[in-house]
């Protein structure tokens, strides 16, 4: 188990290193920092058509990006047609361009199930829609993002305006690209500027776009940094030299590397391997190239020689060539198929569409962390395949799929007697206690929800999806980290401040308890008959002494006259409200919560939960993940609709 649960991360690592061994060095800066992501407002029409169209468009663009740093593609017809465009800014080498594009490609799928979106990184741009936008140069979303860290002098302001004017006049007649540098008189500073139009614009449209961008970005002065994010162009000025040297020999070197990439799993390696792998290479292997190469060769050989490495052909045959009859589920980022190995073992095989695990630090953290856990209430990852045309993950097959399939279905919910629900509660709690207290390192799961609780043939619970998990050192009171998880299950202090403790898992567990008792989903309130969140509604009913009105009718079907069951259910509601209290220090630990569940000790009265309007948080949780959601962050449900930042996530 210790090896198996880390296979996902190891597979990506090995796949990445396999082609990075051919790289001598990484030159330049791909400037893959995320500046802004804006998702469309129209839902995709048919996911079974939209997702393959999107993937095909991205693959088509990938081929073009490898040779020219620019790509456009159109796939499909009608309302599910996918139009895509990607372009790197003119100072990036081809290698750096591919790295930047790989980063953009991992972020844009977070807009799913909305059928459009655009992302500005500091080195490249990417956009996808269901209509032809290629000649658009302005739009209502055009705006500037200012860096308000340092206020500059009026002399710098004049120099920056001069540099902006230079690139504005030269870019339209230079394939839409120009860069400028103007020294600030009397100082050792300069103003640096970059401007780039998308290559689908003619010179006239490019000029109009850059004129609008210039007018917008000048509003950032006298601050030291500014970016104009326009429909047809990008412009940036800064008091620091962010520009790469003009591309030269680096382009050919980049081509060699990318050719190798194309022979590996294109869907995952391009999305993750290039970004993560090149980052790893650049920051860990450049300084120790010879030793790193030897180590990497050993790692690749270890995977190839391991029984954990499945042949693509074996998995293809096991699933009947991924026959729809064997399909168990599909989400925005992958499909899951039941398979039978030659030795008779039943497995679940996940085909990855794309992957957004793109931070090398997180990658290493998860490899080191997840490899240390082993518990009967944690799902088993059996192996992987990354040598075929796509990357595949192999899990133990759990015939009852995930808890949400039963819990939120009135008919299937009849199978969940109180005894089964109680056992699921205990199993989930024991798994979390192990993660928080009994493993070699403290681990916070960060995404406890019904779809991440898998059920075996006897309805025993197994916690799934460690893609967002974080380790926790004993001497730390909390972790400050980028917010990720599923809205409606996230603790308020984490959602507001990014401060992560075990109490975030306790809050999510409390929400899960209320869902198990009521059969209602906390973050689906907008589409149901009640307007408050489930947590808020339960609190009100509890205070009024009528909480039994919320009980799932299926729950009481066989226990209508059983007072002991009613008392047990009421006790679980009380514990759920204790776990979802607004003040983290008032919530019990998972060990204490488990003790409350399994004993008859006196329970304190809960205080109020956070009254968050979760209807406003549902935007990014409308995608149904496959029943095997161990996608290592592939479908983290929180993806801000319009997010501006000058720092990588």
**Structure tokens given for 548:** 């039994």
CB 141 within 8 A of CB 40: no
DSSP 273: I
**Structure tokens given for 111:** 């807009």
CB 150 within 8 A of CB 63: no
Q: Given the residues 80, 91, 447, 568, select the one marked as catalytic.
A: 447
Q: Where are the alpha helices (DSSP H) in 447-582?
A: 492-497, 502-518, 534-544, 563-579
CB 338 within 8 A of CB 346: yes
* 447 carries an active-site annotation: yes
Give the C-alpha distances (Å, rounded to integers) separating 333 from 42, 56, 262, 336.
Answer: 19, 13, 20, 10
At residue 83, φ and ψ (nearest 5 deg) are -105, 130
Spatial distance between the Cα atoms of 163 and 183, rounded to a whole number of angstroms: 9
| Count of alpha carbons within 13 angstroms of residue 640, beta-carbon side | 14
Closest Cα to residue 372, out of 12, 13, 6?
6
**Structure tokens given for 352:** 């990855």
Q: How many CB atoms lie within 10 A of CB 113?
A: 18
Q: At what angle do helices 590-598 and 418-433 cross, to 10 degrees?
A: 150
CB 567 within 8 A of CB 556: no
- Long-range interactions of 46-49: CB distance < 8 A, separation 24+: 46/80, 47/113, 47/330, 47/332, 48/330, 49/76, 49/80
Which residues are catalytic, by number?
447
């Amino acid at each position: 188990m210790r090896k198996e649960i880390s296979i996902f991360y190891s597979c990506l690592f090995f796949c990445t290193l396999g082609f990075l061994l051919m790289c001598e060095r990484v030159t330049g800066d791909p400037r893959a920092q995320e500046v802004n992501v804006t998702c469309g407002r129209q839902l995709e029409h048919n996911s079974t058509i939209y997702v393959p169209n999107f993937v095909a468009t991205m693959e088509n663009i990938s081929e073009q990006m490898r040779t020219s740093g620019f790509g456009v593609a159109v796939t499909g017809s009608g309302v599910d047609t996918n139009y895509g465009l990607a372009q790197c800014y003119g100072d990036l080498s081809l290698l750096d361009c591919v790295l930047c594009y790989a980063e953009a490609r991992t972020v844009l799928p977070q807009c799913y199930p909305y059928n459009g979106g655009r992302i500005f990184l500091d080195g490249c741009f990417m956009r996808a829609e269901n209509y032809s936008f290629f000649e658009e140069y302005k739009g209502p979303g055009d705006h500037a993002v200012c860096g308000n860290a340092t206020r500059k002098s009026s002399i710098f302001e004049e120099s920056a305006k001069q540099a902006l004017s230079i690139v504005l006049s030269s870019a339209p007649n230079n394939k839409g690209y120009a860069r400028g540098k103007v020294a600030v008189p009397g100082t050792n500073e300069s103003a640096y500027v970059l401007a780039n139009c998308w290559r689908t614009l003619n010179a006239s449209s490019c000029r109009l776009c850059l004129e609008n961008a210039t007018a917008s970005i000048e509003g950032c002065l006298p601050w030291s940094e500014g970016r104009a994010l326009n429909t047809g162009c990008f412009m940036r000025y800064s008091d620091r030299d962010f520009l790469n040297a003009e591309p030269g020999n680096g382009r050919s070197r980049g081509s060699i590397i990318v050719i190798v990439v194309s022979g590996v799993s294109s869907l995952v390696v391009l999305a993750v391997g290039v970004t993560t792998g090149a980052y790893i290479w650049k920051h860990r292997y450049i300084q120790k190239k010879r030793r790193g190469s030897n180590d990497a060769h050993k790692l690749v050989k270890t995977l190839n020689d391991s029984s954990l490495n499945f042949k693509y052909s074996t998995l293809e045959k096991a699933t009947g060539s991924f026959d729809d009859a064997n399909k168990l589920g599909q989400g925005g980022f992958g499909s899951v198929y039941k398979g039978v190995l030659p030795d008779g073992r039943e497995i679940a095989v996940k085909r990855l569409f794309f992957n957004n695990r793109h931070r090398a630090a997180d990658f290493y953290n998860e490899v080191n962390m997840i490899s240390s856990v082993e518990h009967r209430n944690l799902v088993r990852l059996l192996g992987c395949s990354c040598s075929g045309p796509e990357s595949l993950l192999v899990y133990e097959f759990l015939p009852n799929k995930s808890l949400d399939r039963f819990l939120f279905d009135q008919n299937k919910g009849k199978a969940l007697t109180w005894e089964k629900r109680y056992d699921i509660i205990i199993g989930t709690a024991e798994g979390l206690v192990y993660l928080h207290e009994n493993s070699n390192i403290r681990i916070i799961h960060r995404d406890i929800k019904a779809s991440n609780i898998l059920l075996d043939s006897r309805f025993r619970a197994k916690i799934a999806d460690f893609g967002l998990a974080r380790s926790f050192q004993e001497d730390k009171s909390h972790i400050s980290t980028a917010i990720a998880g599923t809205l409606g299950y996230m603790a308020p202090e984490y959602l507001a401040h990014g401060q992560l403790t075990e109490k975030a898992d306790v809050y999510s567990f409390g929400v899960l308890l209320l869902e198990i008792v009521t059969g209602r989903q906390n973050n689906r309130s907008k589409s149901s008959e009640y307007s408050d969140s489930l947590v808020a509604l339960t609190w009100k009913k509890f205070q009024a002494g009528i909480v039994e009105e919320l009980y799932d009718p299926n729950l009481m079907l066989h226990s209508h006259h059983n007072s002991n069951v009613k008392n047990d259910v009421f006790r679980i509601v009380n514990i759920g409200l204790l776990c979802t209290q607004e003040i983290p220090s008032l919530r019990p630990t998972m060990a204490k919560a488990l003790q409350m569940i399994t004993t008859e000790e006196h329970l304190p009265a809960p205080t109020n939960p956070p009254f968050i309007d979760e209807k406003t948080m549902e935007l990014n949780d409308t995608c149904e993940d496959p029943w095997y959601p161990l996608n290592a962050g592939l479908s983290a449900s929180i993806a801000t609709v319009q997010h501006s930042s000058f720092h990588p996530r």
